[in-house]
Amino acid sequence: MPEDVNITSGSPKHHRAFLDIYLSQFSRSYLTDLTEYQRILKQRNTLLKKLRRTGSVEARQLDVWDESMVAPAFRIMAARNGFIDEIGAKVIELSHLISGGQDTVEIAYKPRLALADGANSAVSFLKKERDREIRMGASIHGPHRDIIEIKANGEPVREFGSMGQKKTVMLAMKLAALSALTAHRGEPAILILDEAFAVLDNARERQLFELLSGSGQVFLASAVAMKLYSRNDIKVFEVRDGSVLERPDEKGLNGATMLA
């Protein structure tokens, strides 16, 4: 989708959205924990805002919310950590392939609570941070502040990566997540990409096309002409005047393309 590039060029909220979208599709328990965590977080933030205004002794009420929040928080973080471990090697491999060996990628999950310390330590930590959170009127620790650290050739992609590098890593992450989703669900997943080849040079474009051709059912949409190369497994559709028309495999068509 158009906003997919934000996974590597946007704010950390796009990292979390990437994790949440894929994990929720194959783990009902993850979706349940995420929904519960967001409910508790909203209540906790409401109380923190109130305490910032009033300075009330009701700060003790945060004990209840802290204890309630930590359990789903740790399950969310464990799931996210496991997912990045699962797709990490694939992301590195695909980035290397798409870039023609030019990019060496590193990817790591960075939680905002110490995952290894356990829930009890997290509750104690939140108590130590309580005055700071009240001053800010917001929860500053937890899965809602997690990031994915992504580097290309030793430099953070978000700050120093070229548009081509950002697009390359984003596509590698999407393809790796698609593979994981297919494995977990036991059935082929469908990949939809909008302007997949934009900002890629010809070498990366061709390499990506070859990878997509072996990735199951893929839909590519573009408002500009795409190089489709010569293949016999492509169906091309063009949107014209509100109608969708199937066209023969012609190079340089606008519209939507399906790689079966």
DSSP class of residue 215 equals: S
- Is 140 within a domain? yes
Residues of the chain with pLDDT under 50: 252-256, 258-260
Q: Residue 231 domain-assigned?
A: no
Q: What are the strands of the beta sheet with 155-156, ordered from one edge?
A: 105-110, 147-152, 155-156
- CA gap 170, 7 in Å, rounded: 6
CATH number of the domain where residue 94 is located: 1.20.1050.90
Residue 20 has phi, psi (to 5 degrees) of -65, -40
Q: Is residue 205 part of a domain?
A: no
Helix (H) or strand (E) holding 246, with range, is strand 243-247
* CA distance readout (Å), 105 to 74, 166, 174, 225: 27, 11, 15, 30
What does the block give as tokens for 176? 């790796």
pLDDT score at 112? 85
Q: Domain of 48?
A: 10-162
pLDDT at 56: 67
What's phi and psi for 19, nearest 5 deg?
-65, -45
Q: Is residue 194 part of a domain?
A: no
In a domain, 2, yes or no: no
Beta strands in 177-240 (DSSP E): 191-194, 218-222, 234-240
Residue 189 phi, psi (nearest 5): -90, 155
Q: Which residue blocks in 55-149 are alpha helix, DSSP H?
A: 62-98, 119-128, 130-136
Residue in 201, 199, 193, 259 with CA at minimum distance from that of residue 228: 259
Residue 259 belongs to some domain of the structure: no
CA 58, CA 56: separation in Å to the nearest integer?
A: 5
Tally of structural domains, the chain? 1
d(CA 54, CA 56): 5
Q: Global pTM?
A: 0.86
Beta strands in 172-233 (DSSP E): 191-194, 218-222
- Give yes or no for a contact between 119 and 70, defined as CB atoms under 8 angstroms apart: yes
Q: What is the pLDDT of residue 254?
A: 47
Q: Is-contact 229 236, C-beta < 8 A?
A: no
CB-CB contact of 138 with 172 (8 Å): no
Residue 57 pLDDT: 59
